[in-house]
Each structure stands twice: as C-alpha cells, then as structure tokens.
Amino acid sequence: MKRRPRRSVPATLTALVLAAAGALAAIVAIQMILGERPWLDYGAIARRLHDFRWADLPVVIAGAVVAVLGLVLLTAAVLPGRPTVIPLRGEPDTGVSRRGFGTALRAAAARVDGVEKARLKLRRRSVRVRVRTRRTAPDGIADSVRAAVAARLDRIDPARRPEVKVRLRASRSTS
C-alpha cells in the first residue's frame, strides 16, 4: 500500500483559471448575442495582437511564461509525492500514516535520558533525528537515541527500513 498525495493544488489552480476563462468567453458571447456592448472587444484585441511579430519581446516573454507554467504542471503531475501512508511488512494493504510514523519515532528519541528536545525529518530512505541536550558530557546520547529509534522501527516494521541518522547538539559547553 503506497498511497500518494493527490495533486489537488495544481489541479485546482488549473481548473479555476480554465473555468474563469470559459466563463469570461461565455459572458462575452452572451453579450454579443443580446446586442449589448461586450466586456472585451474581440476586434480590438485581434487588431492589437495582429501587430505583434513572433520575435517581439512581449510575445517571447508570454511564450516563456506559458512554457514554464506548463513544465511546472507537467512535473507536478509526473513526479510522485511523498507517501501519505507508509507500508508495513506483514499483511498486505497495511500501513501507518506518515504523521503517526514520525510522531512515534520522535517520541522514542525524546524518551532517551538526557534528551531535552528531539526533532525529526522523514526522508525517502532515511530518518534524520536532531537532538539537543543540556548535559556537559553528552557521550553516548547519540548512540542511545539511535538505538531507541531503531527499536521503535523494529516494532513498527516498515516495508522499507530507513537509515537512522542522529545529530547531537549540546547546549552547554564543557569549558
């Protein structure tokens, strides 16, 4: 089970822009059918655009903006996002939420004796734990945190076990 996030933000923005353009075209068409003065004068717009050449700066800039926007939307559609559910070993279709997974690992790191604060970042293949302690001799705390997080990983048993990286920061100096 590898549930991925929906691409709702790019899809929503694209849908809103296209819906607004369609609504504007429909309003102008209805105004023209009813014989009223339309919001946009197609003749004036066509005459103005006809005066531009392909090599003119506004045309090149507009083309570049549209091309970049298209590449951003294509990239957002093609590249996979972070999984929202992390698959577990054992029975098929079992998983744990990414947030719950991170919370459990952070709690395991924070329970180690001497740890004042623990921060955690989940990566695709690693778990980065940043630990802060006030001890003057923080020897062994990083190893204890690594062991605690590894023990919690053994209990959770994800399908792909991430590498645990611990970074220790002591608040007090030894001098």
- What is the arithmetic mean of pLDDT over 115-141? 89
Q: Enumerate the CATH 3.30.70.1350 domain ranges in the chain, comma separated.
A: 85-170
How do residues 24-38 score in pLDDT, each as one tens digit? 999 999 998 999 988
pLDDT value at 57 more than 90: yes
How do residues 103-125 score in pLDDT, each as one tens digit? 999 999 999 998 999 999 998 88
**Helices (H), ranges, the chain:** 8-33, 42-50, 57-78, 98-110, 141-156
Within 8 A by CB and 6+ apart from 119, the residues are 106, 129, 130, 131
- What is the arithmetic mean of pLDDT over 75-83? 79
pTM over 0.85: no
- What is the arithmetic mean of pLDDT over 155-164? 91
pLDDT score of 146: 94
CB 57: neighbour CB atoms within 10 A?
8
Task: Please list the residues that pair with 119 across neighbouring strands.
Answer: 130
Instruction: Enter the tokens of residue 77.
Output: 């559609």
Count of CA atoms in the C-beta half-sphere (13 A) of 58: 6
Mean pLDDT value across the chain = 88
Q: Say how far apart CA 65 and CA 59 lie, in whole Å.
A: 10
pLDDT score of 76: 84
CATH of domain 85-170: 3.30.70.1350
pLDDT score of 77: 80
pLDDT score of 163: 93
Whole-number Cα distances in Å, 129 to 82, 151, 152, 162: 19, 14, 13, 12
